[in-house]
Amino acid sequence: MDLLVPAGSAFGLIGPNGAGKTTFIKSVLGIVRPTAGTVRVLGGSPEDPAIRARIGYLPERLHLPGTWKAPAFLATVARLKGLKPDASALLRLLERVGLSDAVDRKIGGYSKGMRQRLGLAAALLGDPALLVLDEPTDGIDPMGRLEVRRILQEEVRRGVTLFLNSHLLAETERVCDRVAILADGRVLREGRLEELARGGARWRVRFAPGAEASALLAAGFVPGDTDAQLLKGATPGAQADGAREGVYLVEATDVAVLNAALDRARASGALLMELRREGADLEAVLLGAVGSSPGVAA
């Protein structure tokens, strides 16, 4: 496989079970060595201690000392990273990940979501340049996912490179700006999320009831339940269920073309209620890539 993660990006790695995602992460971190090829991280080797010191890592299977308390655990991680533990800074970090009320409890009594939060706190120690997170929100409730997402977005704004592996595709969509689809050890697709998911130059428009269908068709709109490519030659009198519901599609290569079509619709008396770009969600992109690749089973 060949993959380049731009510095400062929020990059998501997705794919079916057994695709090789966790193995790839372990190769990036120097936990396992590839049988062939070269891995470069932050401009150097993943086996270089100076490079490793700039990486924060949250593994998929997190093992924590159950008899310890969170501050003691983070202090130990800090020392392992060559940092001088700062008790007040560690407490602020625990507060940041939502564990300020659990600092006096033993880790063994933590829920799975709380343990994930503590693992994230450990990964954030030392202000790393690269965060490698393997299923970071596994076991965390929806409100907790919102908090974790906020923290990750803050880190990306700080200039950190985020490398995320998650089966929660909706979370990946909300956090990442680039994704790669991995299957059977091969990168099937890679790029900016909007480029992979967008539906080209197609927009979905909803007009208020009462809009005249023939006028909208003449303005370049087609009923929303029929493929626009098939309706390019539709006659002004064409009608479909999508039109009766006020939902239409329009092809527009840029915003000027889109606004010209909307102006023609409004000139006919149509009232715009909703406008959005047509595009597939990340699940559809994943299934499309895996399904179209010969020899790959989801």
pLDDT digits (tens, 9 = 90+) for 12-55: 998 888 888 988 999 989 989 888 889 999 999 999 989 998 99
64 in the same domain as 205:
no
pLDDT digits (tens, 9 = 90+) for 40-94: 999 999 999 899 989 999 998 889 999 999 999 999 999 998 899 999 999 999 9
142 in the same domain as 17:
yes
272 in the same domain as 159:
no
> Given this model, what pLDDT does residue 255 score?
84
Mean pLDDT of the chain: 85
Q: pLDDT-derived band of residue 260, with 50, 70 and 90 as boundaries?
A: very high
Task: Look at residues 139, 159, 183 and tell me which one is the last residue of a structural domain.
Answer: 183
133 in the same domain as 76:
yes
Return the CA Rg of the chain: 25
pTM of the model as a whole: 0.72
Q: What are the backbone angles phi and psi of residue 56, rounded to the nearest 5°? A: -105, 130
Q: How many domains does the chain have?
A: 2
126 in the same domain as 94:
yes
> Given this model, what pLDDT does residue 94 score?
96
Contact 211/270 with Cβ under 8 angstroms?
Answer: yes
Whether 234 is covered by a domain: the verdict is yes
Between 283 and 76, the more confident residue is 76
pLDDT > 90 in the chain, percent: 44
**Which of 194-198, 216-220, 229-233 holds the top average pLDDT?**
216-220
Confidence check: pLDDT of 205 > 60: yes
Domain that holds residue 85: 10-183
23 in the same domain as 48:
yes
256 in the same domain as 135:
no
Task: Look at residues 152, 183, 214 and tell me which one is the last residue of a structural domain.
Answer: 183
Whether 285 is covered by a domain: the verdict is no
The β-bridge partners of 277 are: 203
Confidence check: pLDDT of 176 > 50: yes
128 in the same domain as 16:
yes
